[in-house]
């Protein structure tokens, strides 16, 4: 494996213990992945923020990093924390858990993570450009960055993303290589997508059948203002039922254009409405959850304005909504209910 002069010095500890540890972890991961080198990145996104994810051992690890002098070297964001951190849920958790959750957040901020982040939509804070190398550890953000923005990131683990944030580098493998971003199969959705609910159900369904990098042909009969939310829901659902980091959507993905005349030679999978409808019906309940990944207030307002009749048809009684921390103050005007549907904000 090739290392530059600075990387060699960092690995040998010339720039401090924390950077040495980060380089040591990254080099070992690179060797396991047979990566030939590291690649510089501009943005890292860390997962494993909830106390229920990392526990006491995770806190000890973070505290050790601080003792070693850990600081991020690039712009870094983080995933949401546990709801135990929110005032409205404090009575549901012990004071000990709340204190530990606060400690995790405080440590991450002290290391250099943007205090306004703690969201699963980091691209809303700083939007990557085509070809930009990232180290993101959040499946919905990864597939969005690769598929919609044309940026390059693998599905990092929480620890490797944090190590990458400190070192400013990650392994030059997987989605960072152009040859790994080619479609391996064609998926044709035989009916138009008309709602966020349909897009989510289709994404979940495709995640169960996809085996590689799919080239997807689909039509959306959606209000233009809602298309981005629909795409985000579709991709997040697909990523939750598969390990797929990238899909090439015809007419949407920046890199899809290269394969318009080539995808026909690939194995074709057709998605029928009846299959998705059966799958969708099996999941129906009177409770609907929006905001995974997070939605902002403008998107929420648009969804509620355009979907109230659909919510009534689906007999939704309660609506849970997750919004980013930086949008919390704007949420007050939406507290309460919407035409008989209770709204709970997380």
Is residue 314 a contact partner of residue 288, using CB atoms and an 8 Å limit? Answer: yes
| 126/27 same-domain check | yes
Sign of the CA dihedral with 73 first, then 77, 82, and 84 last: positive
Q: Which residues of 230-264 are buried (b: 16+ CB within 10 A; e: fewer)?
A: bbbbbbbbbbeebebbbbbbbeebbbbeebeeebe
Tokens 């403008």 map to which residue?
298
Higher pLDDT, 135 or 342: 135
Share above pLDDT 90 across residues of the chain, in percent, rounded to a whole number: 68
Report how far apart, in Å, the C-alpha atoms of 190 and of each of 32, 104, 269 are: 41, 46, 10
Sign of the CA dihedral with 276 first, then 146, 58, and 25 last: positive
Examine the fold and report which residue of 150, 179, 208 is the final residue of a domain before the chain moves on. 179
Q: Nearest-CA neighbor of 28 among 53, 51, 11? A: 11
| 186/320 same-domain check | no
Examine the fold and report which residue of 281, 303, 332 is the final residue of a domain before the chain moves on. 281
| 26/162 same-domain check | yes
60: tokens are 């000890």
Examine the fold and report which residue of 179, 202, 233 is the final residue of a domain before the chain moves on. 179
Mean pLDDT in residue range 199-222: 93
| 173/210 same-domain check | no
For residue 224, what pLDDT is reported?
86
| 37/120 same-domain check | yes
Tokens 């074709």 map to which residue?
268
| 54/158 same-domain check | yes
pLDDT tens figures, 5-50: 999 999 999 999 999 999 999 999 999 999 999 999 999 999 999 9
| 307/245 same-domain check | no
168: tokens are 């400013």
The mean predicted confidence, pLDDT, of the chain is 90
Q: Nearest-CA neighbor of 156 among 77, 82, 98? A: 77
Label residue 85 by pLDDT band (50, 70, 90).
Answer: confident
Q: Domain of 169: which CATH number? A: 3.30.499.10
Report how far apart, in Å, the C-alpha atoms of 28 and of each of 50, 230, 290, 301 are: 26, 39, 39, 47
Give the number of domains in the chain: 3
Least confident of 142-146, 255-259, 275-279: 275-279
For residue 157, what pLDDT is reported?
96
pLDDT tens figures, 63-76: 999 999 999 999 99
| 132/194 same-domain check | no
Checking 305-314 for CB contacts under 8 A at 24+ apart, the result is 306/223, 306/226, 307/195, 307/196, 308/338, 308/339, 310/195, 310/197, 311/341, 312/339, 314/197, 314/284, 314/288
pLDDT tens figures, 117-153: 999 999 999 999 999 999 999 999 999 999 999 999 9
pLDDT over threshold 70, residue 218: yes
Q: Which domain holds residue 262?
A: 182-281
Mean pLDDT in residue range 231-235: 95
| 224/190 same-domain check | yes
Q: Nearest-CA neighbor of 105 among 92, 117, 120? A: 117
| 128/223 same-domain check | no
For residue 57, what pLDDT is reported?
98
| 11/116 same-domain check | yes
| 89/189 same-domain check | no
């Amino acid at each position: 494996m090739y290392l530059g002069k600075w990387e060699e010095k960092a690995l040998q500890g010339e720039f401090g213990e924390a950077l040495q540890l980060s380089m040591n972890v990254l080099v070992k991961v690179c060797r396991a992945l047979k990566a030939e080198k590291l690649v510089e990145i501009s943005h890292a996104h860390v997962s494993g923020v909830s106390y229920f994810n990392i526990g006491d051992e995770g806190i000890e690890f973070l505290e050790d990093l601080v003792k070693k002098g850990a600081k991020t070297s690039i712009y870094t964001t983080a995933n949401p924390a546990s709801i135990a951190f929110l005032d409205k849920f404090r009575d549901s958790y012990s004071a000990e858990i709340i204190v530990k959750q606060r400690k995790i957040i405080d440590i991450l901020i002290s290391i250099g993570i943007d205090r306004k982040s703690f969201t699963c939509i980091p691209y809303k804070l700083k939007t990557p450009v085509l070809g930009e190398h990232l180290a993101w550890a959040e499946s919905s953000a990864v597939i969005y960055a690769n598929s919609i923005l044309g940026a390059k990131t693998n599905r990092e683990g929480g620890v490797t993303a944090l190590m990458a944030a400190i070192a400013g580098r990650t392994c030059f493998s997987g989605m960072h290589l152009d040859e790994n971003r080619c479609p391996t199969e064609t998926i044709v959705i035989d009916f138009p997508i008309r709602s966020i609910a349909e897009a989510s159900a289709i994404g979940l369904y495709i995640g169960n059948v996809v085996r590689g990098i799919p080239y997807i042909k689909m039509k959306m009969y959606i209000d233009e203002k809602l298309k981005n939310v629909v795409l985000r829901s579709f991709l997040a659902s697909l990523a939750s039922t598969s390990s797929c980091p990238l899909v090439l959507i015809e007419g949407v993905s920046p890199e899809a254009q290269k394969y318009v005349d080539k995808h026909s030679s690939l194995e074709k999978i057709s998605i029928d409405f009846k299959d998705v409808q059966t799958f969708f019906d099996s999941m129906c309940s009177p409770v609907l959850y929006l905001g995974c990944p997070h939605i902002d207030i403008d998107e929420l307002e648009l969804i509620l304005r355009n979907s109230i009749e659909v919510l009534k048809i689906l007999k939704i009684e309660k609506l849970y909504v997750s919004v980013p921390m930086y949008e919390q103050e704007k949420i007050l005007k939406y507290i309460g209910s919407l035409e008989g549907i209770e709204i709970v904000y997380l």
